Amino acid sequence: MKKLKRQRFEALVGYSRLPHALAMSEEIAWFASVGEVLLSTILIDLSDGELIAVIFGRDLDDRYRVIEVVRGHNRPQSITRAMKSKCEKIINSGKVTFPQGDERGKKLDLFGKLKTKKNKKINEHFVKVRDMVGYSSAKEIIEEMMHHYLDIDGNFIEQFQTTGFDSRLWELYTFAYLIEEGMLLDRTHYAPDFLATNGNQTVAIEAVIVQPTDDDKKEVYKYNELSPQKIAELQKHYMPIKFGSPLFSKLNKRYWDMEHVKGRPLVFSIADFHQDQSMLWSSTALTHYLYGLFHEFHQDEGGQLIISPIRVDFHEHNGKKIPSGFFFTPDSENISAVLFSASGTISKFLRMGKVAGFGDPTVKILYHGAKHRFDPNAIMPDPFFFEVDDEYEENWGHGVNVFHNPNALIPLHPSVFPSATHHRLREDGQIISDLAEFHPYTSTTIILVPRDDDEVQP
């Protein structure tokens, strides 16, 4: 058994581990056998300080599950020796799978040949992830996640490969983020997508995206061709309408009337995929639309930042007009919050996969952009630049925003989504943000491969 990076252990085991195990113990070391037939972690029982080794093997669904627990030690050296001895016996037995008796018996081959009689065109982004070496880290971490993912309606693979690549990717990202937050998921209902509990509160979560429409093919906005003035103009009216359409459609579903949702907070999880790289500039518009406010700002003579909220009644663009202030529309009091991230793209899976040791090791990944500057009078964000290497660390929650509904009938418990940046509206129109330590506003991922097919991704 050789030592293993924590990030890889999390990517392999994290989706099947019960959240309460993390609350009752602290993991201090991680190990893997040759070929990763077995994995193990050494942890401290926080109730009495006992050292425990937990050994994992793959079940018939290829999920790593607990197969042995070694106890009765209080020194790291002795528990490690005992764990390695137990693992050696298991390896020598020749077993490589360890049935648990509750397997589903059907593996989700997300990148296999699509079995459908429908004449649907394979999504070009799916083909890139499936075939290009530069995307191998994303492909492999997604394949690992799919061992744990439950396809409720039976069409996840078909949609991921054809018409629903972006929406299914966002759903998978939401799944990964909720697991990282230590939430126990219930996916026995067709809608909403998730029931997630952290022990204090159970939250219903429905994932949705801003999708491209026929109008977007005529009205294309390329990020590298947009001036700051044009971006500000689009954020005021065009993008609020784009966000408003899917949110209003989901509001009309009335999920709060469902028996398994009644009495629980309901959250819409949304991302913008309506045009290539639109997530680089569109996010500010969501704040405008949700709260019905623009915020103008300037610095006074002393350099102090002055922010002035301005009420907006509607958004209008190319003949389309919608009321502003989603949280103030009828029935919206049933929505506790809107969760958003501009980072839930394939680039996130690329970086998280690379950190966990997936993919072709010759591929280099660079990550740069703008992050929040912790200066109360700052107008501009700080730049950042990283190479995604052995020293780099990232979480699924980096870049997640939670916009709280000031009129919610059932507010979110403060313990829900602890790693996210939280935004709340004050009575004076100011928005107070409880920011995460690292909060990216916009970012670009660069893929470098030892060939001529380098890729740049938002």
DSSP string of 7-66, one letter each residue: HHHHHHHTTTS-HHHHHHEEEEEEEE-GGGSEEEEEEEETTT--EEEEEEEE-TTS-EEE
CB-based contact 343:398 (threshold 8 Å): yes
Two tokens at 328? Answer: 């103030």
Q: Which of 22, 359, 353 is nearest to 173 (CA)?
A: 353
Which pLDDT does position 54 carry in this prediction? 95
Are residues 86 and 142 located together in one domain of the fold? no
**In-domain check, residue 113:** no
Q: How far is CA 445 from CA 209, 384, 442, in A?
A: 21, 12, 10
Contact assessment for residue 340 and residue 401, using Cβ atoms and an 8 Å cutoff = yes
Question: Would residue 384 count as lying in a domain?
Answer: yes
- pLDDT value at position 167? 96
Domain boundary among 75, 92, 109: 92
Q: What are residue 429's phi and psi, to 5 degrees?
A: 90, -10
**Residue 70 buriedness (CB in 10 A; 0-12 / 13-18 / 19+):** buried
Low-confidence ranges of the chain (pLDDT < 70): 20, 115-119, 451-458
Contacts of 46 by beta carbon, 8 Å cutoff, 6+ apart = 24, 25, 26
Q: Supply φ then ψ for residue 276, to 5 degrees.
A: -60, 130
Question: How much is the pTM?
Answer: 0.92
Beta pairing partners, 45? 25
- 361 Cβ contact partners less than 8 Å away, ≥ 6 residues apart: none
Count the alpha carbons within 13 Å of 31 in the hemisphere toward its beta carbon.
Answer: 21
361 and 408 housed in the same domain: yes
- Asked if residue 10 is part of any domain, the answer here is yes
Q: CB-side exposure of 44: number of CA atoms within 13 Å?
A: 9
Give one word for 185, left, alpha or beta, with left for phi > 0 and alpha for psi -120 to 50.
beta
Residue 139 and residue 78 in one domain? no
Q: Domain count for the chain, please give it.
A: 2
Q: Is residue 79 located within the same domain as residue 134?
A: no
Residue with tokens 């056998």: 33
As given in the structure block, the two tokens for residue 211 are 């999708």
Nearest-angstrom CA–CA distance, 48 and 51: 9
For residue 279, tell me if it sits in a domain: yes
3-state helix, strand and coil shares in percent for the chain, rounded to the nearest 5: 30, 30, 40
For residue 115, the model assigns a pLDDT of 66
364-371 and 440-448: which strand pairing? Answer: antiparallel
Token pair listed for 212: 């491209």
Looking at residue 135, what DSSP letter applies? Answer: G
Instruction: Tell me which amino acid residue 246 is.
Output: P
Other beta carbons within 10 Å of 293 = 18
For residues 370 and 248, membership in a common domain is answered with yes
- Is 62 found in the same domain as 205? no
100 domain residue, yes or no: no
Q: Are 174 and 386 in contact (CB under 8 A)?
A: no
Q: Which one-letter amino acid corresponds to residue 112?
A: G
Q: Determine the Cα–Cα distance for residues 178 and 339; give it in Å rounded to an integer.
A: 11
Residue-range definition of the domain harbouring residue 8 = 2-92
Q: Which helix (H) or strand (E) holds 227?
A: none
User: Same structural domain for residues 341 and 222?
Assistant: yes
Is residue 103 in some structural domain? no
Side chain identity at 164, as an amino acid letter? G
Query: Same domain, yes or no, for 78 and 144?
Result: no
Cα(264)–Cα(255) distance, integer angstroms: 11
Is 97 contained in some domain? Answer: no
Dihedral sign computed on CA atoms, order 116, 119, 123, 124: positive
- Say if 207 falls within a structural domain: yes
What count of Cα atoms within 13 Å lies in the side-chain half-sphere of residue 456? 7
Q: What distance in Å separates the CA atoms of residue 327 and residue 412, rounded to the nearest whole number?
A: 15
Q: Is the dihedral of CA 346, 367, 141, 441 positive or negative?
A: negative
Rounded to 10 deg, the angle between the 346-355 and 165-180 helix axes is: 40
User: Are 132 and 58 within one domain?
Assistant: no
Residues 84 and 194 reside in one and the same domain: no
Give me the residue label for tokens 């639109």: 278
Question: Is the same domain home to 85 and 131?
Answer: no
Report the run of H or E that residue 441 belongs to, with start and end.
Answer: strand 440-448
pLDDT at 181: 94
Which run of H or of E encompasses 385? strand 382-387
Q: Tell me, yes or no, whether 249 and 136 share the same domain.
A: yes
